[in-house]
């Protein structure tokens, strides 16, 4: 697989990680409700690496204020930097690897947020000096 995850922006050290790199990191399980705007919901156990763990490795710079999680499709969502502890980069759901329809190889799990914030097919996390309020409340993409 040639997929890579980039951690970049306002960090001291940019990271480029493979799927195997992520699998080798300590993982966490988060039980979260995915509430889709299409009218369905599911509560699942999602397993992966917390965004805060990756940001600690990259060493976030003092002027950082938000982070942008971006999909291979170009879709993105911006979050407060303080939310990084709650955001999980999921590699598995219900003990199984994600399927392509669920965002393989990596999907953002954003507990307490509507499904449109759960970015699928994540390719990058960009740490930004811009404030989190630059994110529209609903997707415009």
Average pLDDT for the chain: 92
Count of structural domains, the chain = 1
- Provide the 10 A C-beta neighbour count for residue 77: 20
- Provide the 10 A C-beta neighbour count for residue 27: 17
Domain that residue 29 falls in: 5-124
**What's the CATH number where 86 sits?**
3.90.420.10
Above 90 in pLDDT, residue 93?
Answer: yes
Let me know if residue 135 belongs to a domain. Answer: no
pLDDT in tens, 95-112: 999 999 999 999 999 999
Above 80 in pLDDT, residue 59?
Answer: yes
Global confidence as pTM: 0.90
pLDDT at residue 125 in the model: 98
């Amino acid at each position: 697989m040639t997929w890579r995850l980039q951690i970049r922006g306002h960090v001291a050290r940019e990271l480029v990680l493979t799927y195997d790199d992520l699998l080798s990191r300590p993982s966490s399980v988060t039980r979260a409700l995915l509430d889709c705007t299409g009218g369905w919901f599911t509560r699942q156990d999602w397993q992966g690496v917390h965004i805060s763990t990756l940001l600690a490795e990259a060493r976030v710079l003092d002027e950082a204020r938000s982070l942008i999680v971006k999909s291979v499709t170009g879709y993105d969502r911006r979050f407060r930097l303080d939310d990084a502890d709650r955001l999980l980069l999921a590699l598995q759901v219900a003990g199984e690897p994600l399927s392509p329809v669920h965002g393989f190889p990596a999907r953002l799990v954003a507990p307490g947020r509507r499904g449109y914030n759960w970015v699928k097919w994540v390719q990058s996390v960009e740490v930004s000096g811009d404030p989190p309020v630059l994110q529209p409340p609903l997707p415009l993409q």
